[in-house]
């Protein structure tokens, strides 16, 4: 294997979450027991310091049809609105005929924010189901994988290119980055939104490691990739979305100076030493401590005769359920809002998914797999909390 970013072959194994099914693939009843398992291991490149999976599940297997919808969560929609407004206010507010391309545009939630600001919008998504939903909502969306070949077919340059939560998914990493450079206007802005490995380690948010996420970036490591293709970060800021993300603003290399805000973030990252091998080794030990703590809590509540349901059926929840070995004897249901997952089962652990509105009697405990939306969940469920329902967060992100 070569490093996905710099082509080095010098790696250290830092996290091994054993063999797991594809977390994105919730299964039907007749598929139970037939889902394939793949290695889920994180390697550390000793040359460029990028952490990455050593095994690639083919993109056609993972993304050709899935059930994730970005528009389900109110806080994510508000986040997308804020990103679009910030970019427009700073760079393109006075421009007419402005345009945006969203890579991995999902149901078009981010593009709706730009459309409201009078942009000509185009989405690209690999999922047939989600692309159809976006087009039905009047968000023009191509059902395709974005890469250099797709960029050449589009044959258009955009003021803004957005990639929210997809830039670490890319099997064709260099072709995609070349495609972005080709489609970006000379003064255009590429908005790359990615979960921040520094925070993943600090929060022990190991469940954000799954087959869909091939790479785990820091500011230092994503810049290595961007520079290789004539692009560069010129500004960035931290957002609490998804348990801690970086919103990076990128343009053609040499076009803009790095902002004071970005330089401060880079300095803070250097001081944390999060790019060093030792930090990853500490992270691996902390995962085992977290596992022990969670299993002890679940066993204690079960011994007390309490009923425990999981709140949310996020993809990352499958990493946690499978690695912790949690069965439906302990958690009989995953409770969801996304109707595309109704009557499906979690891969590997085979826990059935039920809709939130179907619950007549709440459990004693909600084990919150969608912990990254902690504030929204606590706010929406205050009535249950007042009645004594316990909400337990297996991972508690730092603010």
Evaluate whether residue 294 is within a structural domain. Answer: no
Whether 183 and 322 map to the same domain: the answer is no
Evaluate whether residue 80 is within a structural domain. Answer: yes
| CA distances for 242 relative to 40, 266, 370, 389, angstroms | 21, 20, 9, 24
DSSP-derived letter for residue 337 is S
Whether 218 and 361 map to the same domain: the answer is no
Structure confidence at residue 69 (pLDDT): 58
Whether 348 and 213 map to the same domain: the answer is no
Evaluate whether residue 155 is within a structural domain. Answer: yes
**What are the tens digits of pLDDT across the range 266-285?**
999 999 999 999 999 999 99
Residue 83 has pLDDT above 90, yes or no: yes
Whether 313 and 248 map to the same domain: the answer is no
Whether 360 and 236 map to the same domain: the answer is no
Whether 273 and 312 map to the same domain: the answer is no
Of the candidates 112, 115, 120, the one whose C-alpha atom is nearest the C-alpha of residue 157 is 120
CA–CA gap between residue 375 and residue 268 (Å, rounded): 26
Q: Band of the pLDDT at 338, cuts 50, 70, 90?
A: confident
Whether 102 and 203 map to the same domain: the answer is yes
**Average of per-residue pLDDT across 3-18:** 98
Whether 118 and 200 map to the same domain: the answer is yes
Structure confidence at residue 129 (pLDDT): 87
Evaluate whether residue 94 is within a structural domain. Answer: yes
Structure-block tokens of residue 170: 């890319």
Structure confidence at residue 168 (pLDDT): 82
Evaluate whether residue 368 is within a structural domain. Answer: yes
CATH number for the domain that contains residue 356:
3.40.50.720
CA–CA gap between residue 218 and residue 224 (Å, rounded): 10
What is the full DSSP assignment across 107-118? Answer: TSHHHHHHHTTT
Whether 243 and 378 map to the same domain: the answer is no
**Average of per-residue pLDDT across 370-387:** 94
Structure confidence at residue 165 (pLDDT): 77
Structure confidence at residue 243 (pLDDT): 81
**Average of per-residue pLDDT across 370-378:** 92
Evaluate whether residue 28 is within a structural domain. Answer: no
Of the candidates 53, 344, 334, the one whose C-alpha atom is nearest the C-alpha of residue 210 is 53
Whether 210 and 351 map to the same domain: the answer is no
Strands (E), the chain: 11-21, 37-45, 51-53, 99-103, 120-125, 141-143, 158-164, 184-195, 215-216, 231-239, 245-252, 308-311, 334-336, 353-355, 365-368, 390-392
Contacts of 376 by beta carbon, 8 Å cutoff, 6+ apart = 73, 74, 75
Domain region containing 309: 305-392
CATH number for the domain that contains residue 237:
3.40.50.150
Structure confidence at residue 70 (pLDDT): 61
pTM: 0.91
Structure-block tokens of residue 198: 């520094």
Structural domains counted in the chain: 2
**Average of per-residue pLDDT across 55-64:** 77
Structure confidence at residue 71 (pLDDT): 57
Whether 250 and 379 map to the same domain: the answer is no
Q: Band of the pLDDT at 65, cuts 50, 70, 90?
A: low
**What are the tens digits of pLDDT across the range 160-212?**
999 987 888 788 999 999 999 999 999 999 999 999 999 999 999 999 999 99
Q: For residue 158, list its beta bridge partners.
A: 184
Structure confidence at residue 340 (pLDDT): 85
Phi-psi region of 207 (alpha: psi -120 to 50; beta: other; left: phi over 0): alpha
DSSP-derived letter for residue 144 is S
Whether 179 and 83 map to the same domain: the answer is yes
Of the candidates 17, 28, 16, the one whose C-alpha atom is nearest the C-alpha of residue 318 is 17
Across the chain, mean pLDDT equals 94
| CA distances for 349 relative to 134, 204, 345, angstroms | 31, 22, 8
CA–CA gap between residue 128 and residue 381 (Å, rounded): 33
Residue 59 has pLDDT above 80, yes or no: no
Evaluate whether residue 7 is within a structural domain. Answer: no
Sign for the CA dihedral angle at 284, 288, 289, 291 comes to positive
**Average of per-residue pLDDT across 348-364:** 96
Structure confidence at residue 170 (pLDDT): 82
CA–CA gap between residue 367 and residue 112 (Å, rounded): 32
Identify the three-state secondary structure at position 149.
helix
Structure-block tokens of residue 275: 């790019």
Evaluate whether residue 319 is within a structural domain. Answer: yes
């Amino acid at each position: 294997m070569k490093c996905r970013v710099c082509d080095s072959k010098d790696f250290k194994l830092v996290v091994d979450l054993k063999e797991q099914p594809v977390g994105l693939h919730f299964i039907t009843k007749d598929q139970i027991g037939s889902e394939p398992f793949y290695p889920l291991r994180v390697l550390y490149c000793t040359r460029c310091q990028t952490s990455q999976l050593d095994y690639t599940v083919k993109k056609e297997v993972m993304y050709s049809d899935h059930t994730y919808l970005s528009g389900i969560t109110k806080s994510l929609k508000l986040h997308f609105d804020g990103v679009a407004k910030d970019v427009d206010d700073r760079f393109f507010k006075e421009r007419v005929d402005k345009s945006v391309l969203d890579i991995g545009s999902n149901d078009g939630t981010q593009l709706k924010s730009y459309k409201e600001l009078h942009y000509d919008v185009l989405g690209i998504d690999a999922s047939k189901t989600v692309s159809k939903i976006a087009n039905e909502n009047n968000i023009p969306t191509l059902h395709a994988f974005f890469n250099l070949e797709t960029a050449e077919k589009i044959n258009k340059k955009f003021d803004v290119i957005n990639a929210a939560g997809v830039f670490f998914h890319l099997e064709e990493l260099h072709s995609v980055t070349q495609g972005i450079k080709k489609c970006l206007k000379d003064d255009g802005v590429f908005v790359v939104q990615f979960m921040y490995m520094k925070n993943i380690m600090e929060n022990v948010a190991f469940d954000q490691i799954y087959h869909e996420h091939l790479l785990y970036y820091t500011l230092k490591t994503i810049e290595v990739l961007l520079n290789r293709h004539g692009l560069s970060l010129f500004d960035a800021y931290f957002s609490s979305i998804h348990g801690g993300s970086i919103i990076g603003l990128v343009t053609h290399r040499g076009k803009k100076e790095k902002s004071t805000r970005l330089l401060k973030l880079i300095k803070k990252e250097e001081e944390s030493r999060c790019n060093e091998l030792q930090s990853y080794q500490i992270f691996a030990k902390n995962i085992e401590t977290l596992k022990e703590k969670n299993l002890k809590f679940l066993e204690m509540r079960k011994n007390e005769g309490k009923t425990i349901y999981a709140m949310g059926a996020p993809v990352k929840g499958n990493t946690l359920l499978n690695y912790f070995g949690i069965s439906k004897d302990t958690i009989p249901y995953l409770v969801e809002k996304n109707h595309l997952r109704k009557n499906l089962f979690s891969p590997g652990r085979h826990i059935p998914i039920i809709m939130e509105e179907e619950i007549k009697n709440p459990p004693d405990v909600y084990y919150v797999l969608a912990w990254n939306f902690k504030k929204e969940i606590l706010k929406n469920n205050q009535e249950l909390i007042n009645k004594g329902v316990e909400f337990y967060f297996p991972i508690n992100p730092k603010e």
